[in-house]
Amino acid sequence: MMKPWPTHEDDSRPRQAKKYYHDIEGYNGRLDSIQAGWLSVKLRHLAKWNESRRALANSYHELFADAKDSLIVPVEAAWTKGVYHLYVCECKIAKRCKLTLRGWNCTGVHYPIPLHLQKAYEHLGYTRALPITERVAPKLFLCPCSLK
């Protein structure tokens, strides 16, 4: 059963037990007319923001070019043009990369616990492991892409 994330006005709903641990499935779907109006204003700037994030991603590519032995960075196919809402790197050796990435202002592990191992999704009844997901999840780190 899906439940909305608690608001300040309603503290009776279940909360996330601990960072990265999800007991219930949540969703966020609050788009009223004021937010829609503001979004229509922001959409005028989307192409410029996407180009700015692409430039930032290129800076990360250059910054991480010498770390190919320990870091896997996003790769774009020739026929694509990413917008880099997120810039997620995989550390081949997580302990070695962790301090380096934090020194570059990367925020840490993206999702260390795969969704199929979360309590919120026990009802799906996964009976077999997802070994690639489980191996990679604790090694994925985010680098900031916010333009603020």
SS3 letters across the chain: CEEECCECCECCCCCCCECCECCCEEECCCCCHHHHHHHHHHHCCHHHHHHHHHHHHHHHHHHCHHHCCCEECCCCCCCCCCCCCCEEEEECCHHHHHHHHHHCCCCEECCCCCHHHCHHHHHHCCCCCCHHHHHHHHHEEEECCCCC
Provide the residue range defining the domain that includes 84.
Answer: 46-148
Q: Is residue 23 part of a domain?
A: no
| Polymer length of the chain | 148
Q: Is the pLDDT higher at 2 or at 124?
A: 124
Quick: pLDDT tens for 116-141: 888 888 899 887 788 898 888 888 88
Say which CATH number the domain at 93 has. 3.90.1150.10
Domain count, the chain: 1
Quick: pLDDT tens for 11-66: 555 666 677 888 888 777 777 888 888 889 999 999 999 999 999 999 989 988 88
Q: Is residue 130 part of a domain?
A: yes
pLDDT in the model for residue 139: 85
Q: Is residue 127 part of a domain?
A: yes
List 18's β-bridge partners, or say none: 21
pTM: 0.73
Cβ(73)–Cβ(101) under 8 Å?
Answer: no
